[in-house]
């Protein structure tokens, strides 16, 4: 879902700077091991063979009916599909037809937590942490929870990399996704320790059962893969039933398939409304596009799948002005005046040109020696324009060499070649997590090769490029079109 809640930290924060050469993750063997045993006791509903639908789905459906959320005329019903559970059309559904509407009283969001018995102790928590704690508590309450029928249909895990074992993670050795995954898990661990100390342990009467990091990681993955965010007035909200909607790579419409709207002219209630973006035949699954802007690494971490479209492959280059640079202050000032800072992250997508600010920033970082005059304050207003074009052969050569060697050392961190990955992909029975791993590492390598190719080609053109001094002489009318110096000749 396009808008599943985002972390208050950028994945880029975990990537090392180009200064230390491109990110080279090492497989963190000593980090915490994830266990695949059930973190909480739930019934798995992910068996595609089950027919009729498992009891838990039937009970969930009956609960929704008895609460008046759905009627016998509902155009969709939950069903077992290849992606786990999904929404199956009960009749032909027109494009843009509303398939379900869920009233606010069935949403789970920070307001639900505030109004619950744990509301008074969750006041200062981050929205996602309070919803996480609420959901874990409701799950542990079992039959005593109002939400039990919903919780019973939640999966034990997805294929998100946060749930992968060490062995599975070793398949993404060298990738940015590995460092992002480890960073996210560390973040979840630290949030868990904080909430355990500040809320769970001091309020034993509200949490009379053990709550572990595994529980917390489970719920984090549930929120990441199912909560909607950036909806009108809602930062993070779980919408039972609507969260059964699966993603289709074939739906590429930019419009969101869902919205929050008023329940009617005379009602102050709100409804979450889900539309089908395409025509769907009876018996087929209603699907939406979760987010066209997410990279495969983001899809893998948030939902546990990747797509084969080339533009989903991305690599984040982290560039940095070193504090030990003798011109650090001037360079930082110039970067900041142009909307950048000491560290800059550039997301590079397979098949797309480099982000426009990347080369000027690289030239700025590499500026030294006789080129440093451009850093003088008289150039301050014009310097970014100068950096947009080659400054000097030495500067241009340096950026080419640094980027190529950084790409090479990043490429050396992967344990397979693109050819080996592509061969593996041909196996239709490849384990889903291995398919994700192979797709990610092949994609990152392709982007790195693309970046390296751009700078290698540039290196070959160094003699043909026009640099600052020649442009300056031309501007002053002192150089000809071919770069030859025009001398003043006395009459």
- Comparing CA positions, the residue from 37, 289, 23, 326 lying closest to residue 178 is 23
Relative to beta strand 285-288, strand 246-247 is parallel
3-class secondary structure, 109:
coil
Q: Least separation, in Å, of the C-beta of 203 and ligand SAM? A: 31
Q: Is 124 part of any known ligand binding site? A: no
- Residue nearer to ligand SAM on the CB measure, 243 or 421: 243
The residue to which tokens 């291995």 are assigned:
434
Q: Least separation, in Å, of the C-beta of 84 and ligand SAM? A: 3
Q: Are 260 and 272 in contact (CB under 8 A)?
A: yes
Q: How far is CA 161 from CA 22, 218, 222, 302, 393, in A?
A: 22, 12, 13, 8, 44
Catalytic (active site) residue 290? yes
Ranges within 285-304 binding ligand SAM (CB under 6 A): 303-304
Token representation of residue 409: 């050392």
Percent helix, strand, coil in the chain, to 5, is 45, 10, 45
Q: Least separation, in Å, of the C-beta of 346 and ligand SAM? A: 28
Q: Are 16 and 23 in contact (CB under 8 A)?
A: yes
Ranges within 211-270 binding ligand SAM (CB under 6 A): 225-226, 243-247
Q: Are 350 and 310 in contact (CB under 8 A)?
A: yes
Residue closest to ligand SAM, measured at CB: 84
First-last CA distance in the chain: 76
- Rounded Cα–Cα distance for residues 355 and 144 (Å): 54
Q: Least separation, in Å, of the C-beta of 241 and ligand SAM? A: 10
Q: Is 163 part of any known ligand binding site? A: no
- Residue nearer to ligand SAM on the CB measure, 309 or 415: 309
Residue 249's CB: how many other CB atoms inside 10 A?
A: 16
Q: Is 20 part of any known ligand binding site? A: no
Residue 459's CB: how many other CB atoms inside 10 A?
A: 15
Instruction: Choose one: 81-89, 117-125, 348-356, 382-390; the region binding ligand SAM (CB under 6 A).
Output: 81-89
Q: Is 187 part of any known ligand binding site? A: no
- Rounded Cα–Cα distance for residues 313 and 441 (Å): 9
- Residue nearer to ligand SAM on the CB measure, 51 or 464: 51
Number of residues in the chain? 491
Token representation of residue 383: 């310097």
Residue 468's CB: how many other CB atoms inside 10 A?
A: 17
Instruction: Check residue 305 for interaction with ligand SAM (CB under 6 A).
Output: yes
Site size toward ligand SAM, by CB under 6 A: 16
- Residue nearer to ligand SAM on the CB measure, 194 or 309: 309
Site string for ligand SAM, 82-121 (x = CB under 6 A): -xxxx-----------------------------------
Q: Is 303 part of any known ligand binding site? A: yes
Q: Least separation, in Å, of the C-beta of 254 and ligand SAM? A: 18
Q: Least separation, in Å, of the C-beta of 466 and ligand SAM? A: 49
Active site residue: 149, 157, 256, 290, which one? 290
- Residue nearer to ligand SAM on the CB measure, 307 or 421: 307
- Residue nearer to ligand SAM on the CB measure, 60 or 134: 60
- Comparing CA positions, the residue from 154, 145, 144, 174 lying closest to residue 78 is 154
Q: Is 230 part of any known ligand binding site? A: yes
Site string for ligand SAM, 122-161 (x = CB under 6 A): ---------------------------------x--x---
- Rounded Cα–Cα distance for residues 218 and 197 (Å): 19
Q: Is 388 part of any known ligand binding site? A: no
Give the annotated binding-site residues. Answer: 83-85, 226, 230, 243, 246-247, 258, 290, 303
Q: Supply the residues annotated as catalytic.
A: 290
**Residues found near ligand SAM in the complex (CB under 6 A):** 83-86, 155, 158, 225-226, 243-247, 303-305
Annotated binding-site ranges for S-adenosyl-L-methionine: 83-85, 246-247
């Amino acid at each position: 879902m396009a808008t599943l809640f985002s972390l208050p930290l950028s994945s880029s924060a975990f990537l090392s700077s180009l200064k230390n050469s491109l990110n080279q993750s090492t497989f963190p063997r000593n980090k915490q091991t994830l266990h695949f045993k059930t973190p909480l006791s739930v019934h798995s509903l992910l068996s595609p063979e089950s027919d009729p639908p498992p009891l838990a789905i039937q009970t969930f459906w009956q609960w929704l009916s008895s609460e008046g959320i759905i009627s016998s005329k509902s155009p969709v019903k939950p069903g077992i599909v290849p992606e786990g559970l999904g929404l199956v059309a009960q009749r032909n559904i027109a494009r843009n037809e509303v398939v379900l509407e869920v009233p606010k009283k069935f949403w789970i969001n920070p307001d639900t937590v505030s109004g619950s018995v744990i509301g008074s102790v969750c006041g200062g928590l981050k929205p996602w942490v309070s919803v996480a704690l609420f959901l874990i508590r409701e799950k542990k309450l079992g039959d005593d929870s109002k939400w039990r029928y919903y919780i019973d249909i939640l999966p034990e895990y997805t294929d998100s990399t946060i749930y992968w074992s060490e062995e599975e993670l070793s398949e993404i050795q060298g990738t940015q996704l590995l460092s992002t995954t480890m960073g996210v898990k560390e973040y979840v661990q630290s949030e868990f320790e904080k909430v355990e100390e500040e809320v769970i342990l001091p309020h034993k009467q509200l949490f009379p059962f053990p709550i572990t990091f595994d529980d917390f990681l489970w719920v984090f993955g549930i929120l990441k893969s199912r909560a909607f965010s950036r909806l009108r007035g809602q930062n993070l909200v779980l919408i039972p039933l609507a969260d059964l909607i699966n993603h289709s790579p074939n739906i590429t419409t930019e419009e969101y398939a869902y919205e929050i709207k008023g329940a009617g002219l005379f009602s102050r209630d709100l409804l979450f409304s889900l539309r089908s973006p395409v025509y769907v035949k009876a018996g087929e699954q209603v699907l939406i596009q979760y987010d066209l802007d997410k990279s495969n690494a983001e899809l893998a971490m948030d939902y546990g799948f990747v797509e084969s479209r080339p533009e989903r492959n991305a690599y984040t280059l982290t560039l940095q002005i070193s504090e030990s640079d003798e011109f650090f202050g001037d360079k930082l000032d110039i970067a900041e005046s142009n909307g950048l800072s000491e560290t800059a992250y550039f997301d590079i997508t397979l098949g797309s040109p480099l982000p426009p600010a990347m080369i000027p920033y690289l030239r700025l970082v590499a500026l030294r020696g006789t080129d440093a005059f451009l850093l003088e304050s008289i150039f301050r207003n014009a310097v970014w324009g100068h950096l947009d074009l080659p400054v000097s052969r030495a500067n241009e050569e340096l950026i080419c060499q640094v980027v190529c060697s950084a790409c090479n050392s990043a490429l050396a961190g992967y344990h397979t070649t693109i050819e080996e990955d592509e061969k593996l992909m041909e196996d239709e029975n490849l384990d889903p997590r291995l398919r994700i791993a192979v797709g990610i590492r092949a994609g990152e390598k392709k982007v790195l090769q693309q970046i390296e190719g751009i700078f290698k080609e540039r290196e070959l053109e160094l003699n043909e490029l026009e640099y600052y001094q020649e442009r300056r002489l031309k501007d002053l009318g002192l150089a000809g079109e071919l770069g030859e110096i025009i001398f003043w000749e006395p009459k």
